[in-house]
Structure 1
Amino acid sequence: MYKTKTCDSRIHVCVGKKTSVAEVKLCLNNEFVLVINNSVNDNRKHDSLFKFITHNVFDLIRCNNFQMFADVKGDGITSQIHAIRLAVVKCLLCSNDGIRLILKANNYVTTDRRIVERKKYGHCKSEEILSISKR
């Protein structure tokens, strides 16, 4: 399913969302540390949507003493945030499978790899083909 590996008490997970790919390394620490793309002062960390989506997972399991390194590439900021969240969830499930029910009840375990359908030649959008075929 996903590439997960553990070494030196760190869990490595690589996850994709749409065309974004997030590689997250998670390990226990005394305080919460978040590093995105090798930068401590990344603009995404100060975004309220980013804080809500990523920190909500840690609030659910009531544990905030993790050190997280995330490398994320591709697509828009929102899909990058969701890719990071999915990678964090997979890391947490790899370390402790007992929290699976809590995360599954809040729909954090499900994966959605849908992408936008490509434009067909001679049509303005892919939706046009669907409306023609229904007639």
Structure 2
Amino acid sequence: MYKTSVCNGWIYASAKKKTAIAKVKMCLNDKFVFNINKSDKDNRINDALFKFITFTVFELIRYKNFQVFVTVRGGGITSQAYAIRLAIVKCLLCLNDSIKPVLKANNYVTTDSRIVERKKCGHRKARKSCQFSKR
């Protein structure tokens, strides 16, 4: 279904949200390990919103024994969290396809394809134009 690859027990997936790109490497393990950009002590892990967005997937499926390595770049903290969550969902669906209805009911499977609109010439931004002078 998704473009995921499996090699030596590891599952690889990538996802995007706005300009954030997340690449996830995941496998089953006896304890939960979560690394972002090759670091255990990343500032994003302490952020409450980041934790809520990324870790609710594991609470929803009620299984946490995974080893997850994430490489993420671009975008802000929130868009990075959504990209990581989508990549994790892709890996989980590669492992077990029967959890798809549960994830789909919570809108974790859908990809948000919205991006910033480009700037038009003769305008200040994408839609904002210069002030119109009547006289």
TM norm structure 2: 0.91
- AA of the residue aligned to 2:7: C
Task: Give the SS at the match of 1:3.
Answer: coil
Question: Does structure 2 retain, via aligned residues, the 8 Å contact 1:13–1:90?
Answer: yes
Task: Give the SS at the match of 2:111.
Answer: coil
- 2:119 aligned residue: 119
| Correspondence 1:2-13 to 2 at 5 A | 2-13=2-13
Question: Does structure 1 retain, via aligned residues, the 8 Å contact 2:24–2:68?
Answer: yes
Identity, in percent, stands at 62
Report the number of matched residues. Answer: 129
1:58 aligns with 2:58: yes
Q: What are the superposed Cα offsets for residues 10-62 of structure 1, whole Å, 9 maximum, x if unpaired? A: 10001111111100011111111100000111100111011111110000000
d(CA) in 2 for partners of 1:100 and 1:20?
24
How far is 1:125 from its partner?
A: 2.5
Gaps of 5+ in 2: 130-135
Task: Give the SS at the match of 1:120.
Answer: coil
- 1:133 aligned residue: none
TM norm structure 1: 0.91
d(CA) in 2 for partners of 1:52 and 1:128?
35
**Larger CA Rg, structure 1 vs 2:** 2
